[in-house]
Structure 1
């Protein structure tokens, strides 16, 4: 209270700001303002490089081990000596039967570490990420060695998830289709 007026002092009302930012990599689902717009918490990134597949969630922000320090161009001619690497988007889903690999898509890139140059088509990467989120399997561009490396990683990472996965995924990565 102010002594002169005998009334309580009023504070200006503070408005709560609502942010549009998304926490892309999170352990818990997004709730509140903007909920339902996109949920990437169930997506992981796999890199396939020289026949070896490994998880590298840095690829979500183009900061995977192979992408660091590389200047990318949408023109393939700018990376004449590049080696082919793949980003594979893997969406995981929990069902009544158990957790499974639900959506798996692959995107090509060329990397030339010496020249610090690379090639990738960003809209293709975004569209393939979207397809994985929509539970689609798109792996036909992978060579036999790359499919084998991806299958090995997925089964070793969690064999139970692999066992619960769709027949479509298993057929896409089956040794006989290689």
Structure 2
């Protein structure tokens, strides 16, 4: 099985001194059950939903040839929130991406993450809430990690102590734990 993780710097794991991010930690855990698993982190720092929409397919197709079982995980939107892109535009891009991807591969969507800046955090939260009905309407499994990351201080404290946006190893470990503990993820990976 091959899985592509498509998104922004939070998907990339920017700020993690161990260079794993949440994606690397999820893959470490999943490889205990599936030794043949290959993961591709396609997170690009500062990418907005429109930029992801323009590039995701070519990047994923190169890594998921038809002869292998392929899956795609998407997680993006915080850059849209930070750059004050209107939510309708972000949701339109997300709908187009998810609709196109699900026609070819099993896909999974992970919502947005909190930011230390209160205005950005509020816009990111609104996007996270809007992703749930969008994904439900498309039949795409969705996981919100927003409240789980806010519930413990690690994510936001590490982001504040770092570059003001990205957590360190502890924050990404927390996100990976939320993903791995979710029933939606376990069902999707079965």
TM-score, normalised to structure 2's length?
Answer: 0.27
Higher helix share: 2
The structure with the larger Rg is 1
- Higher relative contact order by CA 8 Å / sep ≥ 6: 1 or 2? 2
User: Going by fraction, where is strand more abundant, 1 or 2?
Assistant: 1
